Structure 1
Amino acid sequence: MPGWDALTTAHGAALLARAAELGASGSSIDSIGQRLRRETEVDPNLLAAALTVTGLRAKAVPKFGERSGDMLFTQAGLEQASRRQVAALHASRFAGCTTVADLGCGLGAESLAFLRAGLGVRAVELDPLTAVFAAHNLGIEAAALHAERGTAPAFEVLTGDATVLGSADADGVFLDPARRTPGHSDTRRIAAAADYSPSLDFAFDAARSARAGGVKLGPGLDRELIPEDAEAQWVSVDGQLVEMGLWFGAAARPSIRRAATVIRTTPAGQDLHELLAPADAEDVDVRELGEYLIEPDGAVIRARLIGQLAAELDAGMIHEGIAYLTTDRLPETPFAQVFRITEELPAREKDLKRALAQRGIGRLEIKKRGVDVDPAALRTRLRLKGPQSATLILSRSAGRHVALLAERC
């Protein structure tokens, strides 16, 4: 992209520093651009790139931390980067290793976590601009670590094809195969796993070849593609399912093949909880609706550990094949959202609309499983009015459609 390469020059760095200074005073991106055009003659492409990066730096803090203000980003690279706490989880898998090859490093989110964990890094990135930005970002982190600790692990960033450059003598290997079309913005998701770059076969073989190996993939990957010798871990952050990781060798935990990892942000920081199993859990029996309805976290659902969670909570399924549980006792669990069922309303839309109107419900959260309903379209048709708010759960129980009015516990 024209102008972007110049961001790593002294002129580009000065332009970014001035933009940051103006931004700190409360100026908008548009105002910053107008001010910089008045202050200096600058290539329009370079200015556009600097303004884009300035905006992305603010958005990058949740993923890249407090040093984001000195780092370089592209829109697509930032969108695809791992969250900081998830990258730290990845790094913890390589305890005992000396160097990790980050094959397909992107902007360097994982490589930064490896450095913070005291691991040397061999980063490989196919896209030249992204590789330059990754090297810059790792340099920022290494300098900060050296200032804090008096030393920092060594790193290198290589531009090229991971299948050609490989992992060299690294004893840890991490891969994040590209699952979107090439580019720095407006990329599209690749639907077929066969089109990932590098291929899954290469990624799995590379991960197996090291003392410890890991492959980051989308949470919806076809389960038939999961290797039998890998630990499959689904991760959610604050209720959002973000990834599936496959772990090999020393990175995998003994006898664990399924893991649901739930990270919750708290006032004190974050809590991490895990459901672990040697295999998929069998679903528990269906039972009649109780006082409480339990919606398992997406990580639990994808890991197929609903039955294990149900057994721990003494709960049953509300319907075969539907990921809702029910119980008569209020459960406490980080692995699910819990709702108290206040009443059952008519499932027929005309009667449901009348019942909601009678209760003065004007704000309605609609959740559904096992029924063919578009919640947004239904909300429009219901024409809700009134001061009350509620949650409506649409599903099936005992072979029939149900509409459950509920409140979050």
Structure 2
Amino acid sequence: MNPESILSLLAPPGAEALSEACALFSPGSELALVAKLRKRYDATVVTAAVTQASLRHRAVAKFGADDAGRMYFTPDGLEQATRTTVGVHRARRLASVLPGASVVDLGCGIGGDLIAMARAGLTVTGVERDEATAEAARANLATLGLPGTVITGDVQSIDLTPYDAVFADPARRSEGRRLFDPNAYSPPWSFVTSLLEGTACVKLAPGIPHDAVPEGVEAEWVSDAGEVKEAALWSGPLASPTPRRATLLGLPTSPLPDAIGSGDADAFAGVVTVTEAPEAVVGAVGRYIYEPDGAIVRAGLVTAVAVAVDGWLLDPRIAYVTGDTYVQTPLASAYEVLGEVPYKEKALRAWVRSEGIGTIEIKKRGIDVDPAQLRRKLTPKGPASATLIITRIGRDAVAYTCRRLP
């Protein structure tokens, strides 16, 4: 989309075309909807309206139906936008340390983080180099009734001195492909690390290596409903004394235990934070295997799960915990161990056939295997279901047949 496409939908007749397109839209209806609307509206406006209706439909998963139904998007802007749950968590953390602070968002995209920060009472300014995306961010603040400014420009040329804190979300895609090397980010890693010399929060991909985190900067890995979403680096007064943190969002809001290993319940319902990795022993497989949340794994805090379930590690280098007690914990998924099968295709196929397994979940760590490809080779057929956990203990590959627990 271009800036004119966004602007054409903000006033009549584009606003009416957009409202009608959203009301009639369903996945796969685009061509018929375009034909219908072109009887009443200009072709350019119709294209923009139907495209926007499609983007709003997709945006519900990130922003919820109420906000997504009023916001404006570009395809890339929606793809790269922060999920609301994550943005709200970050904004609350910023506001709890610097209430009412002025924050500049470098690379604000369509404004997902601006919205969360403005709602948290922060004074926000966004900077975005793409004109269409900047127009979407302005429109989103306006349509949601939130104060804030969006500047179109290069983030590296902005004077940061008027702001209390900086938030940055470097571009981590090039020609549609993800970038895993921080030095390939835009703006470059050298600029990002310069921001972290002051009061800043930088959103990064969760694969950021621990040794890439600058000295004195806190790294927080965030998951939402069990899916790792990002790493965030916090500096200056925004950083806590702990160097690494795992934050789990989207958890059930029922009361949590007073002590969850080394974790503690956040002030906000449905959030658990883990900040310490106590000592844990290593031993043979017990009655249960626990798979820690991905944020805990990325943060290197797996032993917190071992303490929480009164268990131990299967291997000191592998992120699986085992134990003889079943503990329901927000920190990990639990599996009851039913047996051990030789990690050989023939033996695994015989197990699938003898148990009548038609649905098989394959989990793996430390083993170079494609679960989807292995599943096809095992040709599961039958009414039963099971989980197969494949891992490495020392130099040996092992396979455990399991049942997933609540």
Query: In the TM superposition, what are the counterparts of 1:18-33 in structure 2 within 5 Å?
Result: 18-23=20-25, 28-33=29-34
Aligned mate of 2:291, from 282, 288, 295: 295
CA-CA distance at 1:399 after TM superposition? 4.6
Name 1:247's counterpart in structure 2. Answer: 234
Q: Counterpart of 1:94 in structure 2: which amino acid? A: L
Name the residue aligned to 1:78.
78
Select 1:178's aligned residue among 150, 166, 171.
171
User: Is the 1:122–1:167 Cα contact (8 Å) retained in structure 2?
Assistant: no
String of CA shifts for 1:287-340, please: whole Å, max 9, x gaps: 011000111111011100112322333222212311111111112211111100
Q: Deviations over 1:343-368 (max 9, x none)?
A: 12232211221122111111111111
Q: Which moved more, 1:387-396 or 1:130-139?
A: 387-396
TM-score normalized with structure 1 length: 0.88
CA distance change for structure 1 residues 264 and 67 in 2, over 3 Å: closer, same or farther?
closer
Q: Which of residues 123, 126, 139 is equivalent to 2:126?
A: 123
Q: Which residue pairs with 1:34 in the alignment?
A: 35
Equivalent-residue separation in structure 2 for 1:58 and 1:123 (angstroms): 25
The alignment-based identity, stated in percent, is 39
Q: CA deviation at 1:270?
A: 6.2
Q: 1:336 aligns with which of 294, 307, 332?
A: 332
Q: Is the 8 A contact 2:289 2:322 kept in 1?
A: yes
Aligned partner letter, 2:30? I
Shift, 1:199, TM fit:
2.2
Secondary structure at 2:173 match in 1: coil
Q: Is the 8 A contact 1:371 1:395 kept in 2?
A: yes
Query: Contact between 1:33 and 1:51, CA under 8 Å: does it hold in 2?
Result: yes
Q: Corresponding residue for 1:361?
A: 357
Query: What residue in structure 2 maps to residue 113 of structure 1?
Result: 116
What is residue 10 of structure 1 aligned with on the other side? 12
Quick check: 1:375 aligned with 2:371? yes
For residues 119-162 of structure 1, the C-alpha deviation after alignment (integer angstroms, 9 at most, x for no partner) is: 11111111111001100001112x2xxxxxxxx5x411100011
Shift of 1:188: 2.2
**What SS does the aligned partner of 1:358 have?**
helix
In structure 1, which of residues 381, 388, 395 is the aligned counterpart of residue 384 of structure 2?
Answer: 388
Are the counterparts in 2 of residues 361 and 389 from structure 1 also a CA contact under 8 Å? yes
Alignment length (residue pairs):
386
Residue 32 of structure 1 aligns with an amino acid whose one-letter code is L
**Whole-Å separation in 2 of the counterparts to 1:361 and 1:61:** 36
On the 8 A contact 2:253/2:270 being kept in 1, the answer is: no
Structure 1 unmatched ranges of 5 or more: 144-151
Residue 98 of structure 1, CA deviation:
2.3
Question: Alpha-carbon deviation of 1:265?
Answer: 4.5
Q: CA RMSD in A?
A: 2.3
Cα distance change, pair 8–203 in 1 and its aligned pair in 2 (3 A): farther
2:244 corresponds to which of 247, 258, 263: 258
Paired position in structure 2 for 1:56:
55
Q: Provide, for residues 28-72 of structure 1, a one-character-per-residue CA deviation record: whole Å limited to 9, x for no partner.
A: 3333212102233x134x422321110111221232331222211
Q: Secondary structure at the match of 1:71?
A: coil
* Residue identity opposite 1:98 in structure 2: A
Shift of 1:230: 1.1
Please point out which of 206, 216, 225 is paired with 1:229.
216
After alignment, is 102-111 or 329-338 more displaced?
A: 329-338
Q: Give the structure 1 partner of residue 346 of structure 2.
A: 350
**Is 1:202 aligned to 2:191, yes or no?**
yes
Q: Give the 3-state SS of the residue equivalent to 2:339 in structure 1.
A: strand
1:100 partnered with 2:103: yes
Corresponding letter in the other structure for 1:48? T
Structure 1 residues 394 and 27: alpha-carbon distance in aligned structure 2, compared to 1, 3 A threshold: closer
The 2-side partners of 1:164 and 1:17 are apart by 38
Return the alpha-carbon distance in structure 2 between the equivalents of residues 321 and 372 of structure 1: 15
* Matching of residues 309-324 of structure 1 within 5 Å: 309-324=305-320
- What is the SS of the residue equivalent to 1:271? coil
Give the conservation status (yes or no) of the 8 Å contact 1:288–1:398: no
- Superposition TM-score, scaled by structure 2 size: 0.89
